[in-house]
Structure 1
Amino acid sequence: MDERFEYLEHTADAKFRAYGKTLEEAFENAAFAMFNVMIDTDTVENKVSQEIELSSEDIEALLFNWLSELLFVFEVETMVFGNFIVDRVEEDNGGCRIYAKAIGEDIDLSRHKFDTEVKAATYNDMKVEKTPQGWMIQATVDT
């Protein structure tokens, strides 16, 4: 699969579809798409890694919590990310879990130019679907 993500038309917020051969790759690309709304991720260096482990009741809630946690770390710890490694996403009767790393650096305003502020992840029109090519995630973030 060549395409990591695409932006979709939305009146006020940022909406995107992220793709992956695996569910893990689709989660990585969803995070990448969200950060690309805010910043040119090519300007982000891979200096530090933030471990992220989350649990949720279902896969959509896990996606929401994944994007929300990344925004929380961005805002509170003033870090920006340009690379994401999802080691695994587990689904069972007890819910869903993600084990991942976000890789980036502390915000440096001399190099990091922010285009759009992403305020929050939303459940609006959210989808996590298995496709013949792999996985597709659709998400909307409040800008």
Structure 2
Amino acid sequence: MLGRKMEKFKFLKHTADIKFQAYGKSLKEAFSNAALALTAVFSEDEIKGKTKKKISVLGNDDKELLYSFLEEIIILVDTKNLLLGKVSKVKIVAGKLEAELLMDRTENYDIRGDVKAVTYNEMLIEKKAGKFMVQVVVDV
């Protein structure tokens, strides 16, 4: 279909925790959409990115990079009271992910939940038909 937008992410059933899949035309886009899905666990509000934050994480493989990237976002929520509005830039090279995040203060939004940690449980990174899918379970 012409003009049809790809779904960014969706939540799946999980017994105790929260599981989601995020999609993208590139691995960078799938990671960015996973970060947006993670933010949706914290708040249903549309977050306005007012504060620019640069992060850099390391990983031995793509799963470690995804894990570290999402954990860094949780740390920003927990320690700096910042929610992600948009991932404006992502660069993945040789076990290093660098990203520029647009964030806003948590007090400006209704917070509905808390995320304790990202898990490796059921984590997937797949490429099919030129599109990427990442699956993540977070401990709540």
TM-score, normalised relative to structure 1:
0.89
Contact 2:43 2:111 in 1 (8 A): yes
Contact 1:49 1:104 in 2 (8 A): yes
1:66 aligned partner: 69
Contact 1:52 1:101 in 2 (8 A): yes
Contact 2:25 2:130 in 1 (8 A): yes
Alpha-carbon distance in structure 1 between the residues aligned to 2:45 and 2:86: 8
The alignment status of 1:142 with 2:132, answered yes or no, reads no
The alignment status of 1:124 with 2:127, answered yes or no, reads no
Of 6, 9, 14, the residue aligned with 2:13 is 9
* Alpha-carbon offset, residue 102 of structure 1: 1.6
Task: Provide the aligned length of Structure 1 versus Structure 2.
Answer: 136
Alpha-carbon distance in structure 2 between the residues aligned to 1:9 and 1:87: 29
TM-score, normalised relative to structure 2:
0.91
Q: How does 1:69-88 map to 2 (within 5 A)?
A: 69-88=72-91
2:98 aligned partner: 99
Q: Percent identity?
A: 32
1:49 aligned partner: 52
Contact 2:45 2:110 in 1 (8 A): no
Residue by residue over 1:3-59, the C-alpha shift from the partner in whole angstroms, topping out at 9 and shown as x without a partner, is 0001110011110000000110000000000110110241x2221111011111111
Alpha-carbon distance in structure 1 between the residues aligned to 2:101 and 2:53: 5
- The residue type equivalent to 2:27 in the other structure is L
User: What's the secondary structure of 1:46's corresponding residue?
Assistant: coil
Structure 2 unmatched runs, 5+: none
User: What's the secondary structure of 1:124's corresponding residue?
Assistant: strand
Structure 1 residues 41 and 66 mapped into 2: Cα distance closer, same or farther (>3 Å)? farther
Alpha-carbon distance in structure 2 between the residues aligned to 1:86 and 1:139: 21
Contact 1:24 1:87 in 2 (8 A): yes
Q: Which runs of 4+ in 1 moved over 4 A?
A: none
User: What's the secondary structure of 1:49's corresponding residue?
Assistant: strand
Alpha-carbon distance in structure 1 between the residues aligned to 2:84 and 2:120: 22
User: What's the secondary structure of 2:122's corresponding residue?
Assistant: coil
Structure 1 unmatched runs, 5+: none
